[in-house]
Structure 1
Amino acid sequence: MNIEKKDILNRLKRAEGQLRGIQKMIDDEQECIDIVTQLTAVRSSINRTMGLVISQQITKALQDPNLDLIQQEEKLQQALDLIVKK
């Protein structure tokens, strides 16, 4: 498994654990501000993970010698569309 894939999977597992913790906080009826703080942390973590995935797409498009210029442009446009959607 390459480093980037492992890093992304680790980030997602960490976010999954945070979400389980938030569910427990809700079950335990903890303060709203604490729950929202944790939700914000998860959102930030997911946003950073999305950035990594998109940057990998861009890097692959630029480094793939088998893609012609039109294919590279299409791949880059797909990555840019993902950023704009975000």
Structure 2
Amino acid sequence: MWTTFQRITLPLIAPGTAGGAMLAFIIYMDDLLITYFISGVGFTKPSVFIYCMIQRGIKPGINAIATLLFAPFLIAGAGLHLRSK
């Protein structure tokens, strides 16, 4: 059963899953402007937090957060690119 999933099902669903994840990430990061303008006191989404940290100066913590957000999509994209060749 695992072999069937790995050889047939996973290659078929991988592009759709990766595309959906990337689209969700883009929509989430697009929320920055709307949330930044209408958010109340004490409520901060991660995208607004990252933006505010960049305004104060780039520190190692913000680099780590950005890497954690971006790395899975970079790895998935590279894996799909290599798999298609």
Report TM bin, short chain. Answer: 0.3 to 0.5
TM-score, normalised relative to structure 2: 0.41
TM-score normalized with structure 1 length: 0.41
